Structure 1
């Protein structure tokens, strides 16, 4: 068992991914989150490349971090000028970080064609820049860019570049698979050779263009690397960087290495989702270890086995990484699925009875029509409780009408008129919205707020439409998924119909009904 040092480059390399843009505030928040996770090095950006990163390095110094060391990133000096004359180097120095990450060229192709300089000058650029920052009292992490491609092209020169960095005083030499095309066998062989040529500890920086960044990083560690660089959720340019959310648990749980402080691994799932939220990206459901589906079970035979012994279909305890087991109820479900889900929802459900068989039959019929309860567990709970007569309807619809009007140069208006029965009273109201679904939502709330004031505290937070049977074109059935939130939690509901307004109404009313039921249930158990 060894200690493997993790350098997170989400805030630098991760932001080079398509569609990813983090504000300074976002970067500072993620820094605090990574520090709480226990990441020892956080690469915050390239201060010579943009004003945003300059501001980040100014403000990050004011954070009270627990243990993380902030590093700033830049290239070696440019050809033909001194370190003191290079503006990028001076900005890196002004960033004031205790550690710097310097990248230099290892591939003779890049030296000659990209830098338009000589192989000798490139070696001088590496030595001069590393020496400059060591003299300034900084820890130097040297990233040997394109090292593996360079080694395959000209092994002697590639090795000479990392020896130059080590001889100049670099604290770390990190071997980069910048194009992301290496195989694990190549990584292992070349890391071993590199370790024989330099006395400083080695690291690995892998990209995922061959879908092997995690495997390559683990192989590098097995071959002697002591630092792993990567990003949360594998964010990064092209196909992304090595995913730390997979690397860290594999190292800790499978390879016996230590990466994070004791007990911090359970914070991994929360951190992964937090970064996705700030990056305005949907968390990949099937992402290993931290995805919602990573420990989800759907097939009835699987669920039956998992309830007896989770090891039958799980490679580890999900709680170790802060995730949880999920059992899905669907057309593939059996009694085992329903039993597990009922227990999870604290529903007393008699099994192996006509009632339970009828519920399963009903769920399968609805899923055949297009309903999907895997991502709409509030609708599923309402379905189960209604079948067991465990709650009463809070309102009944008598009629609704939605009008959309478009006039030339006047924009579009939508209005919904609803007639509901609440208890013995009939309520007839109308409301406008920026679209028909928004108008429906506004009218429903307006009608119910007098009877259920707590509705003011909930709001619709997400709305998704999925077209089923695309061949039917505009007449196709649609599935609407709605996420509703209050001050404490969120829940998802589903509606399906050929008419998008009706599908939306189903999901909307389930969302409101679930909120009301949840409130009543909490009060009854207090």
Structure 2
């Protein structure tokens, strides 16, 4: 029978201590809802005694009516030489409305003497009094032994006394923290095994990633007997971050056979991780295991040839199990297998003879100029369709012009004029924007809207510029990557030029061309309806 693991997410508290991570109350509520849908058992909302934002979160999170997760409030043991019943921090936890109290105390004798400057005996009383008070207040109590592994290596007898005091006071679980992130997996396994001989309630692990071992140390602790796992999504956290739940969950469930979430919930892991990165406004590393864009991406021709026969040759799990998907990258390193696989994925019947070789040669020439199709699937699809003669152009570009004016009374004014042709109609349109790219985008949309009303649903979501030859200074060639979306899909296009506006225009036009694949202009549709007698005069 498989063992069940309790998942404790601290993205909303420990994760926000990471550099560059800042979450509003609305952000935290959105993430909490998404974590609950994934099946996370505990969500730590913050430290209610530290700031007004966390207090508001605890007040509003109750409105979400979460189905799976319990909300935990974080705090510390009482202050030295005081009463738990009068400790402001502990009272804030009780008043927060949280179901669970997650409190930390000192396990390392060095910290007791140096950080809080009290006696070892008083520290034990602080642990015991705090846990007992919170239990009397009706809360589930998780006691976090801060710096436990360092404390155990320094003074194992005292470190064990601290968690024994928490157990005796009624704690529901003891969580062992590798707060400095400096322990190794064999040390973690050995220490957790030793703790298990003395602690008879749930044992948890809270690892940091300062040696890039947060996930490995968590797995080692579980194999030694821990059944409660703490971490953050995408590994957010102070310094080098916390143990990454995006990797821990599939490693425990798929690799080691533990039960964390349902199979259906596991299939939402990748969307959840990416959703959290978007809310946090943090770029997710493309190579992040399991959930990254490149986690199941294949570029080398030999690799692609093999996965076409059997994906197991170069994939350690089925990507869909964690909500990800296999990707075949097409580049100057690609062989014919890459292109055939990509065409098949896009529903394009690319024969294996001259057409495939011609397209590969074209891609190599373009990439030599600076184009990159690995992250621009829409531009690649347009290229393939052009090669096969299966694309009917929705519009063609005649010319464009940019005017930039610096006015003392109105500030910067940018105007774009575009000349395009839809069927036999020549359209000249102007549009303003807060910069050249925005003005071009507005002018192009304005020209196309009467013929393609669906263009209103297309939005630009990201715009990246990369200088390809820095030594060229202001004349350097640049690559522009544009990401767009509509109500149903998302896609990326690329443009390259020594003129950043032209590179942007090329990527922008490809984005609109891709959005209009298969669509007919209204004038054509009206003419066809009239021919069939479907138009009332």
TM-score, scaled to structure 2 = 0.94
Structure 2: stretches of 5+ with no match in the other structure: 526-537
User: Which whole-Å CA distance do the structure 1 matches of 2:164 and 2:430 have between them?
Assistant: 76
Q: Contact 2:371–2:494 at 8 Å: present in 1 too?
A: yes
Q: How many residue pairs get matched?
A: 522
Structure 1 distance, partners of 2:453, 2:283, is: 32
Provide the TM-score with structure 1 as the length reference.
0.96
Structure 1 residues 193-202 or 228-237, which shifts more? Answer: 193-202
Cα-to-partner distance string for 1:335-374 (whole Å, 9 max, x where unaligned): 11111111111111111x1111000110111111111111
Kept in 1, the 8 Å contact 2:101–2:142? The answer is yes
List aligned pairs for 1:296-335, cutoff 5 A: 296-335=297-336
- State the shift of 1:519 in Å: 3.7
**Displacement of 1:101:** 0.7
In structure 2, the residue matched to 1:6 is 7
Q: Deviations over 1:469-506 (max 9, x none)?
A: 21222121111011122222221110001110110110
Residue of structure 1 equivalent to 2:212 = 211
Structure 1: 4+ residue segments shifted above 3 A: 407-410, 518-521
Shift of 1:425: 2.2
1:234 aligns with 2:210: no
Please give the alpha-carbon distance, in whole angstroms, between the structure 1 residues aligned to 2:341 and 2:448. 34
SS at match of 2:237: coil
Deviations 1:117-158 (A, max 9, x none): 111111100000011111222211100000111112222211
Partner residue in 1 for 2:39: 38
Alignment of 1:59-138 (within 5 A): 59-138=60-139
Moved more, 57-66 or 488-497: 57-66
Counterpart in the other structure of 1:354: 354
SS of equivalent residue, structure 1 residue 405? strand
User: How far apart are 1:303 and its partner, in Å?
Assistant: 0.3
Aligned residue number for residue 148 of structure 1: 149
Match of 1:197 in 2: 198
1:225 aligns with 2:254: no
CA distance in 1, matches of 2:183, 2:137: 36
Closer/same/farther in 2, CA of residues 520 and 304 from structure 1, 3 Å limit: farther
Unaligned runs of 5+ in 1: none
Name the counterpart of 1:386.
386
- Matched residue SS, 1:176: strand
- Structure 2 SS opposite 1:238: coil
After TM superposition, list the pairs within 5 Å mapping 1:364-443 onto structure 2: 364-407=364-407, 411-443=411-443
Q: How large is the Cα RMSD of the aligned pairs?
A: 1.6
Match of 2:53 in 1: 52
Helix, strand or coil for the counterpart of 1:104?
strand
- Give the structure 1 partner of residue 260 of structure 2: 259
> The residue matched to 2:516 in structure 1 has which SS?
helix
Q: Which residue of 2 aligns with 1:180?
A: 181
Q: Does 1:476 align with 2:476?
A: yes
Q: Which residue of 1 aligns with 2:533?
A: none
Q: For 1:345 and 1:43, how far apart are their aligned partners in 2?
A: 42
1:306 shift after superposition: 0.4
Write the distance in 2 (CA, Å) between the matches of 1:339 and 1:23.
46
Give secondary structure in 1 for the equivalent of 2:63.
coil
CA distance in 2, matches of 1:417, 1:61: 52
**Comparing 152-161 with 287-296, which one deviates more in the overlay?**
152-161
The residue aligned with 2:513 is: 513
Q: Deviations over 1:303-347 (max 9, x none)?
A: 000010111000010111111111111111111111111111111
Q: 1:307 and 1:164, CA in 2 relative to 1: closer, same or farther beyond 3 A? A: same
